[in-house]
Structure 1
């Protein structure tokens, strides 16, 4: 194909030339990952816009600092799922890259079903991808995202687990593809230019969740700094005190440090930082965490990485994900000269680091072409039985509307006003009666 001057048109070879992609997230890391994936479409001719689903009552769900740190400089409006689905921002998109938590996924697909997008001339192809490694509640999370047109998995074993569960209850799993962690920075490791070794500990807000565990982590990094005076020891905080995240920090390490450092002073080579993770990995001689996705990124870039083993191996801590990696170590054994011990077969086969965007790009191209040929919107994938039986969905929606499906626990909270007063009065009456007899 050529332009008016007879020169070959470079855009004609791009699969998504003229298409519009919406990068949709919730919190900062989700928006960043959605943006990284959307840029893959942009490289093939698409235009990209951003939005976020409202997931917090706080006014500033996404701070400017968080967005800039994630490489997002565009405007990111924050909308409820219902408002988003009704907006031109959503309706005019050809592809929506949704990197959202399970609750927001249910809100989004319930809103799509309520809007009956299948009756439109066209609708967005909705892709759901993960912001990082899937640590807990795997099947619940997968089922929450099952109505997506394309459902991306980090590794084949996760896709297989979903397919097996889907087959048991009759969910169509043909939308499931393996892409790996598309949001990872995969630049080759560069030598540290200043020659001074650096160990970086990447904090997670609620892993571990207990104060004493987090104090132990912090004490271990302080001890490492004192043992290695020629090494910079950096603690990468997940978010600042006035910022929100998917899991807000209960015991902020910067706060806990005041208690520990009061006993012996702060080592000059120890510091807290909010620098973006990719920049910190550029400097790191050793990356340390409990179970953060950044560990997979570090391993894939050939950076020596250690998973803290002090609290054992468990699903609750997410350390079970890294079994087989060869990277577990106790805090007391950390040193800046530790070798790269990651097992290649685990990194390439199970970690999600071996990403391949082609299954996603190819599937979206197929679906868009099918919708173009059809001349009307593709049917929406059904909510049942992924969200429960049709009978249950009908009952729940009739009783409490969408909230009864995507967040049924909220239906059990006492309502303010007379309902709240009645609930309190009932509790007082029960308390006066004393404990039940056995």
Structure 2
């Protein structure tokens, strides 16, 4: 399905009764994602673990549902793609034969490319939907990038999937330790790599201007003053080096949201610069294409650093605001890439440590996805599929789990609540509902990016 549709015009569930994905083939993959970055991870993972499979994309409706522009930037065109609620997605996964036969995707794969709470809700919902089934799809989940916070919380919310992907040997060891310590299945963890690591190896060129790319992040740092500081330093670097181009690579346009909330977009902060140098430019687009012309990659802790390191591009992890867990740059301790803007102004060009790269799943030899493909194949060929078993249940987490499920319209058993279940049927008022949802999203994003900062400033008076 082509994605050439206007921004904010992502198809919703068609105006017909919700029907299962029409397939009884093994080479079917459904990716459920809740943001642009998770769609990128999930769709690329699907291509790696099930090459050549038919790809069905489902976007979980919420505050960060990607726009058509964001999806186009990812560059993956699925065979079907539209927005769904949790209840609608579960309704699509109903098994044939009253829950005793083949899944609607045969012995295929479902990739949950979701934040932890949403993953937990979908695991409970799928377990309820498939209760009593003899065959079901293989359920895969994981992380879209560097895991530098909420390790235990995020892992236990993903426990219960057949396969939990770890992006490096370092992560795989940590994940298995946590699962073994709480009685979850450590064998569900499978080591892979980030699926978007690729591109041509870096080669300096005298045929183009030296280019410095600052990969901005929505929430690292989150403070307005710190973000303005980093922008000013990028502008200062451009002034000090008029022979260089300095790019500020932005994740989203104003009004769009990604995985994390961005209260202080650089697009607005740039107006506070006394003067914007001619060789400083704010850019969008696919990160890989931007790295194609990058000679020095700079960031606080973005996963883009791993992409540039993988290619051999000199990469700097900024220390100007400290090396702190809150920023995520502590993850890069030992990489050899920690540096400040002062050092970069003086010509420093960091080189990543090969041993550190190997442990982090960067620039590894061989096929990092072979083990995951084999595991998925083995699970898909089981004569009988065991039920999904989450770590959290109403008996083990009665004060935590119900709230997570309720946020996604599910009761403690994983069954859609009455209102959510009704919404899973035909969307006959789709144009009106779509207009209301669009207005609600605009109001939410305006509140985050305009009203909330104003209230905080008033509170400081």
TM-score class, shorter: 0.7 to 0.9
Q: 2:254 aligns with which of 233, 241, 244?
A: 241
Tell which structure's C-alpha radius of gyration is larger. 1
Aligned-partner Cα distance in 2 for 1:27–1:89: 24
Aligned-partner Cα distance in 1 for 2:183–2:123: 18
The Cα of 1:98 is off from its aligned counterpart by: 2.0
Q: Which residue does 1:212 correspond to in 2? A: 225
Work out whether 1:37 is the aligned partner of 2:45. Answer: yes
CA-to-aligned-CA distance 1:90-146 (integer Å, 9 cap, x gap): 95231012221102101211211222x142242110111221111211111111111
Work out whether 1:202 is the aligned partner of 2:215. Answer: yes
Aligned-partner Cα distance in 2 for 1:209–1:64: 26
The Cα of 1:257 is off from its aligned counterpart by: 1.2
The 1:400/1:101 distance shift into structure 2, 3 A limit, reads closer
Aligned-partner Cα distance in 2 for 1:249–1:273: 17
The Cα of 1:279 is off from its aligned counterpart by: 0.6
The 1:335/1:40 distance shift into structure 2, 3 A limit, reads same
The Cα of 1:89 is off from its aligned counterpart by: 9.3
- SS state at 1:119 partner: coil
Task: Tell me if the contact between 1:18 and 1:47 (Cα under 8 Å) persists in the aligned partners.
Answer: no
Q: Which residue does 1:87 correspond to in 2? A: 92
The Cα of 1:350 is off from its aligned counterpart by: 2.6
Q: Which runs of 5+ in 1 are unaligned?
A: 1-16, 409-438
CA-to-aligned-CA distance 1:10-46 (integer Å, 9 cap, x gap): xxxxxxx851111222111111111111222453x42
Aligned-partner Cα distance in 2 for 1:164–1:42: 28
- SS state at 1:180 partner: coil
The Cα of 1:180 is off from its aligned counterpart by: 2.0
What does 1:280-319 align with in structure 2 at a 5 Å threshold? 280-319=290-329
Task: Tell me if the contact between 1:303 and 1:340 (Cα under 8 Å) persists in the aligned partners.
Answer: no
- SS state at 1:283 partner: coil
Aligned-partner Cα distance in 1 for 2:221–2:155: 24
Normalised to the residue count of structure 2, the TM-score between the two structures is 0.76
The Cα of 1:314 is off from its aligned counterpart by: 1.3
Q: Which residue does 2:344 correspond to in 1? A: 334
The Cα of 1:339 is off from its aligned counterpart by: 3.4
CA-to-aligned-CA distance 1:392-436 (integer Å, 9 cap, x gap): 44x767x7682279999xxxxxxxxxxxxxxxxxxxxxxxxxxxx
Work out whether 1:179 is the aligned partner of 2:192. Answer: yes
Q: Which residue does 1:420 correspond to in 2? A: none
Q: Which residue does 2:120 correspond to in 1? A: 106
The structure showing larger relative contact order (alpha-carbon pairs under 8 Å, at least 6 residues apart) is: 2
Work out whether 1:53 is the aligned partner of 2:60. Answer: yes
CA-to-aligned-CA distance 1:192-235 (integer Å, 9 cap, x gap): 57421110000000100111110110110000000011111010
Aligned-partner Cα distance in 2 for 1:326–1:346: 9
The Cα of 1:319 is off from its aligned counterpart by: 0.7
Q: Which residue does 2:149 correspond to in 1? A: 136
Normalised to the residue count of structure 1, the TM-score between the two structures is 0.79
Work out whether 1:390 is the aligned partner of 2:395. Answer: yes
Q: Which residue does 2:21 correspond to in 1? A: none
Q: Which residue does 1:64 correspond to in 2? A: 68
